[in-house]
Structure 1
Amino acid sequence: MDEKIKNVIENHIENNDVCLFMKGTPDAPQCGFSMAVSNILKILEVNYKSVNVLEDQSIREGIKVFSDWPTIPQLYIKKEFVGGCDIIKEMYENGELKKILQDKGISSKKD
């Protein structure tokens, strides 16, 4: 991955408390896995930045190298890679995702 793409990815992660690299947009996801993670964040009412990896092939490939994770979507919270779709779904279901958001000072829907 070239330095320019690495910087673009780092800027997205560093400048947004919650950043989701996904296929498509939250309003028009282009894959079911991206839609699932986006919907979980909507349910929790979390403000997040989405990055549509389909708009730039170098970001699409670069994020996989950056995180050493082979799939998209990828969720970052406070600069930390949290996981992909299966991990996020499991963390949501067991309450761990909400706890991480709270622990990191990210406002989400209160039960």
Structure 2
Amino acid sequence: MTEILQRIDKEVKEHKIIVYMKGTKEEPQCGFSAAVVDIFKILQVPFETRNVLEDMGLREGVKKYSHWSTIPQVFISGQFVGGCDITRELFQSGELQKLVNEAIAKK
């Protein structure tokens, strides 16, 4: 588990926006993951994804890393933002756009 947590930590810090989800951004495998992908596509920002269905260790590891039990999980600028519902709420309030803009502006 330590290796997986280190890998997640590296990915979260390496990528401005990363989503741990079921499926891929091209083919989400659940409605919640699809909703998060749609939000980032609407915002027209680059984002990375990791398919937790391909690796059970990754699926359990990201839950442990974030202390959050559901998938998808969104990280922006190295910080855990939340799952689908929180991401949707932040999008609707305009806060997600601000977080994304700040993340993209950082070098």
- What's the TM-score bracket when you normalise by the shorter of the two chains? over 0.9
RMSD: 1.0
Matches within 5 A, 1:31-110: 31-102=30-101, 104-106=102-104
Matches within 5 A, 1:4-19: 4-19=3-18
Q: CA deviation at 1:12?
A: 1.2
Query: What letter corresponds to residue 96 of structure 1 in structure 2?
Result: E
- Structure 1's unaligned 5+ residue stretches are none
Of 93-102 and 73-82, the range deviating more from structure 2: 93-102
Q: Quick one: distance in 2 between partners of 1:47 and 1:101?
A: 10
For residues 57-78 of structure 1, what are the alpha-carbon distances to aligned partners after superposition, in whole Å with 9 as ceiling and x for unaligned?
0000111111000100000001
Matches within 5 A, 1:25-36: 25-36=24-35
* Corresponding residue of 1:21: 20
3-state SS in 2 of match to 1:8: helix
Q: Quick one: distance in 2 between partners of 1:5 and 1:24?
A: 19
2:18–2:47 Cα contact (<8 Å) kept: yes
Q: CA deviation at 1:99?
A: 1.2
Hey, which of these two has a bigger chunk of helix by percent? 2
Q: Does the C-alpha gap of structure 1 residues 105 and 79 become closer, same or farther in structure 2, counting only changes over 3 Å?
A: closer
Q: TM-score, normalising length from structure 2? A: 0.94
Q: CA deviation at 1:79?
A: 0.2
Q: Quick one: distance in 1 between partners of 2:9 and 2:72?
A: 16
Q: Quick one: distance in 2 between partners of 1:53 and 1:74?
A: 10
